[in-house]
Amino acid sequence: MNKQELWDKFGKTFRDYDLESGAYKAPGRVNLIGEHTDYNDGFVMPMAIEKEITMLAQLRPDKKIKFYSLDYDQLVEYDLENLEYDEENVWANYLMGVIDEIQKLGESLQGFNLMFTGNVPQGSGLSSSAALEVVTALAVTDLHKIKIDGVEMALLAQRAENNFVGVQCGIMDQYISRLGKKDHALLIDCRTNDYELVPFKNENYQIVICNSKVERGLVDSEYNQRRSECNQAVEFFAEKEDGNITALRDVELETVIKYKNQLAENVYKRAHHVVSENERVLASKKALEADDMQKFGDLMYASHKSLSEDYEVSCKELDILVNLAAEEGVEGARMTGAGFGGCTVNLVKKAKVDDFVKNIKEKYKAETGIEAEVYVSNPGDGARKL
Ligand code: GLA
């Protein structure tokens, strides 16, 4: 639907109150490198993708809030003064969580109607939930003329997911959905929440995303388990080495290796992944700046190996996709996002993209019986008002 058709639909769904209204967009993301480092105060390097959620919004003269999901064709209504988790319409909690966090800032909101639709694949590790949170935050603050900067908005959306939805995610997904830039990846320092733009407009290479179509089953419980193993490692290093160590960000790879025999095997492997992954992110930034795509690709493969063997968050299908990419001779490939299913991200020579897409789909189908989906995306812009 184009913008006019969307507004027509909005007009048919809700009464027009002749109050402040607007249309907004927020994208999904793919993480190029830096996995499971954000909640360890580390570095990540995601880009926004050209798949987005579009939201139309208008104030109401009362205290009601109504959400219409075009894609589910579901209309729900809540009371601003009494926001509670909705077991039935799970999608609505992402919006309510954001609204709840805005109210927690001490802002008094009036009622409003929201309608949204999107093409970010769900449950695929491309952060459709972060896109929904961010677009809601942008719409609701803009309607009410609440001033909040990009990083603050990302943090607010993250708190919505942590507190209302109940997923202990880090900051990466909401951050890149809010602050992504066309033709750039962002190197985000998840300790200071600063970022640097890393140009990614290589004439010769293309980012290609392969969706394994495996739903990320175990992801929440395993995610929390990894977080707690990282905390165990931090406590250990703080005691043995330096009381100032507060996150794996503060630990050198040498130190991790030095204590290999004193750490439980799983804790050692988790720490080894996080600390080496931080190094790979910084090396990737340098490689991209030097236009050394070969080097960047090697770092992507190394990241996957570490995620699969040390962090143990890959799965059979993701490993197959990465191996097939290597067989096809692409520069780099790795799983992206939390893991246990979802997508791989691939760095492919432009001239080879068509062959790659065709071959990897065929071979993946032959090995797993599953039809993969493939998306070719350039780095897109973050959230914005239309
Ligand atoms: C999920 C979380 C992010 C990040 C990644 C793993 O996408 O939402 O905060 O931790 O997993 O890198």
Give 74-106 pLDDT, tens digit per residue.
Answer: 999 999 999 999 999 999 999 999 999 999 999
Which residue puts its alpha carbon closest to atom 2 of ligand 1? 169
Indicate which atom in ligand 1 lies nearest the CA of residue 167.
8
250 catalytic per annotation? no
CB of 173 within 6 A of ligand 1: the answer is yes
Indicate which atom in ligand 1 lies nearest the CA of residue 36.
12
Q: Is the pLDDT of residue 261 over 80?
A: yes
Residue 173 Cα to ligand 1 midpoint, Å, equals 7
Residue 284 Cα to ligand 1 midpoint, Å, equals 19
Helix 353-368, helix 316-327: angle, nearest 10: 140
Indicate which atom in ligand 1 lies nearest the CA of residue 130.
8
Mean per-residue pLDDT over the chain, rounded: 96
Percent of the chain topping pLDDT 70: 99
Which pLDDT score is estimated for 87?
96
One-letter-per-residue 3-state SS of 233-287: HHHHHHHHCCCCCCCHHHCCHHHHHHCHHHCCHHHHHHHHHHHHHHHHHHHHHHH
pTM for the whole structure: 0.97
Confidence of residue 243 (pLDDT cuts 50, 70, 90): confident
Q: Is the pLDDT of residue 218 over 80?
A: no
Which pLDDT score is estimated for 217?
66
CA distance 338 to 317: 14
CA distance 247 to 242: 11
Percent of the chain topping pLDDT 90: 95
CB of 331 within 6 A of ligand 1: the answer is no
CB of 337 within 6 A of ligand 1: the answer is yes
Q: What is the mean pLDDT of residues 135-140?
A: 98
Which pLDDT score is estimated for 201?
77
Residue 79 Cα to ligand 1 midpoint, Å, equals 31
**Residues written for the chain:** 386
Q: Range with the lowest mean pLDDT among 20-34, 195-209, 346-360?
A: 195-209
* DSSP H or E stretch at residue 83: none
Q: What is the CA radius of gyration of the chain?
A: 21
Give 296-355 pLDDT, tens digit per residue.
Answer: 999 999 999 999 999 999 999 999 999 999 999 999 999 999 999 999 999 999 999 999
Which pLDDT score is estimated for 220?
81
- Locus of tokens 């880090």: 170
Count Cβ neighbours within 10 Å for each residue of 100-138 and write b for 16 or more, e otherwise: bbbeeeeeebbbbbbbbbbebbebbbbbbbbbbbbbbbb
Give 265-301 pLDDT, tens digit per residue.
Answer: 999 999 999 999 999 999 999 999 999 999 999 999 9
Selection from 30, 28, 31 nearest residue 280 by Cα: 31
Which pLDDT score is estimated for 203?
85
Residue 125 Cα to ligand 1 midpoint, Å, equals 9
Do 31 and 45 touch, CB atoms closer than 8 A?
Answer: yes
Active-site residue identified among 8, 38, 62, 173:
173
Give 188's DSSP letter. E
CA distance 121 to 64: 30
384-385 and 332-336 as β-strands: parallel, antiparallel, unpaired? unpaired
Residue 120 Cα to ligand 1 midpoint, Å, equals 16
Q: What is the mean pLDDT of residues 120-139?
A: 96
Which residue puts its alpha carbon closest to atom 1 of ligand 1? 338
CA distance 159 to 190: 15
CA distance 224 to 222: 5
Show the tokens assigned to 31. Answer: 């993480």
Which residue puts its alpha carbon closest to atom 8 of ligand 1? 169
Choose one of 33, 35, 38 to mutate for the ligand 1 pocket test, by most ligand atoms within 8 angstroms of C-beta: 38
Q: What is the mean pLDDT of residues 110-116?
A: 98
Give 163-191 pLDDT, tens digit per residue.
Answer: 999 989 999 999 999 999 999 999 999 99
Residue 62 Cα to ligand 1 midpoint, Å, equals 37
Q: Is the pLDDT of residue 375 over 90?
A: yes
